[in-house]
Amino acid sequence: MRAADGDLSNCGCIARRTDKYKPKIGDVVCAGREYAAGYDYDQAKLVYEADSFYPSHGDIVVSISGDYIESIGGDISNNVDAKKIRLTDTGYLRNRINRSGKEIPWIAILECVL
């Protein structure tokens, strides 16, 4: 997130807000886990600056279709899974839906700049 604010150079990725950046192949889509499941970009940044940690997970974007992206991620339930993640009509990530049907945000998309 510091790279997105212009604080670092020579970074391999830059954190982008999910409502301002459309994912592309090679990017990493990031979500909070456990107590951080509902964190958005600003909450994650604030907590990280205070504690240098929050539980999260990222999946690599491997393909893009009209209304979804496909991603691959591991270390959840001791396996590697492919997921389809919904996009808005304009190509941005849609919020996730938790088990109780509530919408929860993504934290960020790490734009691959290598």
Q: What is the pTM of this model?
A: 0.86
Task: With a cut of 90, say whether residue 1 has pLDDT above it.
Answer: no
Nearest partner of 107 among 51, 65, 34, 57, judged by Cα: 57
One-character DSSP codes across 39-108: --HHHHHHHHHHHS---EEEEEEEEE-SSEEEEEEEEETTEEEEEEEEB-TTSPBPPEE-TTS-EE---E
Mean pLDDT score across all residues of the chain: 90
pLDDT in tens, 41-55: 999 999 999 999 999
How confident is residue 5, by pLDDT bands cut at 50, 70 and 90? low
Handedness of CA 52, 77, 96, 58 (dihedral sign): positive
List, for residues 29-88, the tens digit of each pLDDT value: 999 999 999 999 999 999 999 999 999 999 999 999 989 999 999 876 778 889 999 999
Domain segments of the chain: what residues? 13-91+106-112
Answer whether residue 2 shows pLDDT above 60. no
Does domain 13-91+106-112 fall under CATH 3.90.1720? My reply is yes
CA-to-CA distance for 54 and 51, rounded, in angstroms? 8
| Of 89 and 98, more confident | 89
